[in-house]
Structure 1
Amino acid sequence: MEPIERKRRHSGRVTLSTVAQAAGVSPITASRALRGERGVAADLVERVKQAADQLGYVPDPAARALASQRSTQVPVLVPLLSNALFVDVLEAVHRTLLPHGYQTLIGVTHYEPVEEEQLLRSYLAHRPAGLLLTGFDRTEAARALIAASGVPCVHLMELTSAPGVHCVGFSQIDAGCAITEHLLQRGHRRIAFVAAQLDPRTMQRAEGYRRCLRQHGGYDARLELLSPQPSSMRLGGELLEDLLRTRPEVDAVFFCNDDLAQGGLLAALRLKIAVPGRIAVAGFNDLSGSDQMVPALTTVRTPRRAIGEASAQMLLGLMRGETPARNAIDLGFELMVRDSS
Structure 2
Amino acid sequence: MLKTKQRLQDKKSKITVHEVAAHAGVSESTVSRIMRNEGLVAEATRARVMESVRALGYVPNRIAGSLASMDSKLVGVVVPSLSNIVFPEVLQGINAGLKASNYQSVISISDYDIDREETLVRGILAWQPAAILITGFDHTMATRRMLDQSGVRVVEMMDIDSAPIDVAVGMSHRRAGYAAGQHLIAKGYRRFGYVGHDWRSDRRARLRYDGLCEALAEAGVSITAHAIADGPSSVATGRSQTEQLCRMAQVDVAVYSNDDMAVGGVFHCMGAGISLPDQLAIFGFNGLDIGRELPQPLSTVRSNRFLIGQKAIEAILLAPDRPTTKTNIDTGFEVFSGATA
Q: TM-score, normalised by structure 1?
A: 0.77
Q: Hey, what does 2:332 align to over in structure 1?
A: 332
SS in 2 for 1:340: coil
2: distance between equivalents of 1:223 and 1:65?
62
Q: Hey, what does 1:66 align to over in structure 2?
A: 67
Equivalent residue in structure 2 for 1:226, among 215, 223, 228: 228
Uncovered stretches (5+) of structure 1, i.e. residues with no partner: 1-60
Q: Hey, what does 1:185 align to over in structure 2?
A: 186
Q: Which amino acid aligns with 1:332?
A: G
2: distance between equivalents of 1:164 and 1:256?
27
Q: Hey, what does 1:202 align to over in structure 2?
A: 205
Q: Hey, what does 1:237 align to over in structure 2?
A: 239
Query: Could you say if the C-alpha distance between residues 245 and 164 of structure 1 is closer, same or farther in structure 2, counting changes exceeding 3 Å?
Result: closer
Larger radius of gyration: 1
Q: Which amino acid aligns with 1:95?
A: A
SS in 2 for 1:100: coil
Query: Could you say if the C-alpha distance between residues 242 and 252 of structure 1 is closer, same or farther in structure 2, counting changes exceeding 3 Å?
Result: same
Aligned pairs for 1:50-199 within 5 A? 66=67, 69-160=70-161, 162=163, 165-198=166-199, 199=202
Query: Could you say if the C-alpha distance between residues 333 and 87 of structure 1 is closer, same or farther in structure 2, counting changes exceeding 3 Å?
Result: same
SS in 1 for 2:83: coil
Q: Hey, what does 1:318 align to over in structure 2?
A: 319
- Give yes or no for contact 1:281–1:297 (8 Å, CA) kept in 2: yes
2: distance between equivalents of 1:62 and 1:339?
56
1: distance between equivalents of 2:191 and 2:237?
22
- Give yes or no for contact 1:250–1:279 (8 Å, CA) kept in 2: yes
Q: Which amino acid aligns with 1:303?
A: N
* Range 163-172 or range 101-110, more displaced: 163-172
- Give yes or no for contact 2:94–2:313 (8 Å, CA) kept in 1: yes
Q: Which amino acid aligns with 2:132?
A: L
SS in 2 for 1:265: helix
1:123 Cα deviation from its structure 2 partner: 0.8
1:228 Cα deviation from its structure 2 partner: 2.2
* Cα offsets for 1:114-165 (capped at 9, x unmatched): 1110101111111111011111000111110111111111111111563763
How many percent identity over aligned positions? 35
Aligned pairs for 1:291-306 within 5 A? 291-306=292-307
Q: Say whether residues 1:267 and 2:307 are aligned partners.
A: no
Q: Which amino acid aligns with 1:224?
A: H
Q: TM-score, normalised by structure 2?
A: 0.77
SS in 2 for 1:305: helix
Q: Hey, what does 2:215 align to over in structure 1?
A: 212
2: distance between equivalents of 1:85 and 1:62?
34
1:237 Cα deviation from its structure 2 partner: 0.9
Moved over 6 A (4+): 61-65
Uncovered stretches (5+) of structure 2, i.e. residues with no partner: 1-61
2: distance between equivalents of 1:256 and 1:189?
19
Q: Hey, what does 1:48 align to over in structure 2?
A: none
Q: Which amino acid aligns with 1:237?
A: R
Across the two proteins, how many residue pairs are aligned to each other? Answer: 278
Q: Which has the higher contact order (CA 8 A, sep 6+)?
A: 2
2: distance between equivalents of 1:67 and 1:97?
23
* Range 324-333 or range 146-155, more displaced: 324-333
1:195 Cα deviation from its structure 2 partner: 0.9
